[in-house]
Structure 1
Amino acid sequence: MEIKAQVRALVGAECKLGEGVLWDAGRSLVWFVDIKRHRLWHYDPASGSSGFAEAPDQIGWAIPTEGDLLLCGLKTGLFTFDPASRGFEKLAEVPGEPANNRLNDACTDPWGRVWFGSMDDAEGEGSGRFYVFDRGEIRAAGPSGITITNGPAVNAQGDRIYFTDTGGQKIMTAPLSSEGVGEARLFADTAALFPDAFPDGPVADAEDHLWTGLYMGGQVARFSPDGELVATIDMPARDITKLAFGGADLATGYVTSATKNMSDDDMKQYPQAGSLFGFDAPVRGFALARAKLG
Structure 2
Amino acid sequence: MNNPTLLFDYQGELPECPTWDADTQTLYWTDILKKQIHGYTLRTGKQAVFHFPEEVGCFALRERGGFIVAMRTGIWLTDEHGNLQQKVCDNPNNPQLARFNDGGTDWLGRFYAGTYWGPRDYNGALLCRVDAMLKTTVLQCDILGANGLAFSADQKWMYTSDTPNHVIYRAPLDENGRSGPRQVWKTFPPGNGRPDGAAMDSEGCYWSALFDGWRIARFSPQGDVLQEYSLPVRCPTMVCFGGENMKTLFITTTRENMTVEEIQERPLSGAIFTLDVAVSGVAKAKFKESE
- Normalised-by-shorter TM-score class: over 0.9
Residues 1:262 and 1:95: Cα distance change in structure 2 (over 3 Å): closer
| 1:93-137 CA distance string (max 9 Å, x none) | 246421321111112112111222112245554210111111111
Matched, 1:15 2:12: yes
- The whole-number CA distance in structure 1 between the counterparts of 2:36 and 2:121 is 24
Residues 1:179 and 1:61: Cα distance change in structure 2 (over 3 Å): closer
Quick one: which amino acid aligns to residue 261 of structure 1? N
Match in the other structure for 2:267 = 271
What are the within-5 Å matches in structure 2 for residues 186-265 of structure 1?
186-191=184-189, 195-265=191-261
TM-score by length of 2: 0.93
User: Kindly, what percent of the aligned residue pairs are identical?
Assistant: 25
- The whole-number CA distance in structure 2 between the counterparts of 1:111 and 1:174 is 17
Q: How many residues align?
A: 287
- The whole-number CA distance in structure 1 between the counterparts of 2:6 and 2:276 is 13
Q: CA deviation at 1:172?
A: 0.4
The answer to whether the 8 A contact 1:19-1:60 is kept is yes
| 1:117-162 CA distance string (max 9 Å, x none) | 11224555421011111111101113x1211110321112211100
* Cα RMSD after superposing both structures: 1.7
Matched, 1:87 2:83: yes
Residues 1:269 and 1:32: Cα distance change in structure 2 (over 3 Å): same
The answer to whether the 8 A contact 2:148-2:208 is kept is no
Runs (4 or more) in structure 1 with deviation over 4 Å come to 122-125
| 1:237-274 CA distance string (max 9 Å, x none) | 21100011101100111110000121122213321111
| 1:201-226 CA distance string (max 9 Å, x none) | 01111110001101111111111001
Residues 1:260 and 1:122: Cα distance change in structure 2 (over 3 Å): farther
Quick one: which amino acid aligns to residue 150 of structure 1? N
Match in the other structure for 2:276 = 280
The answer to whether the 8 A contact 1:257-1:276 is kept is yes
For structure 1, the residue ranges without an aligned partner over 5 or more in a row are: none
Q: Which moved more, 1:24-33 or 1:239-248?
A: 24-33
Match in the other structure for 2:135 = 137
Q: CA deviation at 1:53?
A: 1.2
- The whole-number CA distance in structure 2 between the counterparts of 1:268 and 1:239 is 15
Q: CA deviation at 1:42?
A: 0.6
Matched, 1:48 2:78: no
Aligned-partner SS, 1:265:
helix
2:180 to 179, 182, 206: 182
- The whole-number CA distance in structure 1 between the counterparts of 2:82 and 2:114 is 25
Quick one: which amino acid aligns to residue 261 of structure 2? D
For structure 2, the residue ranges without an aligned partner over 5 or more in a row are: none
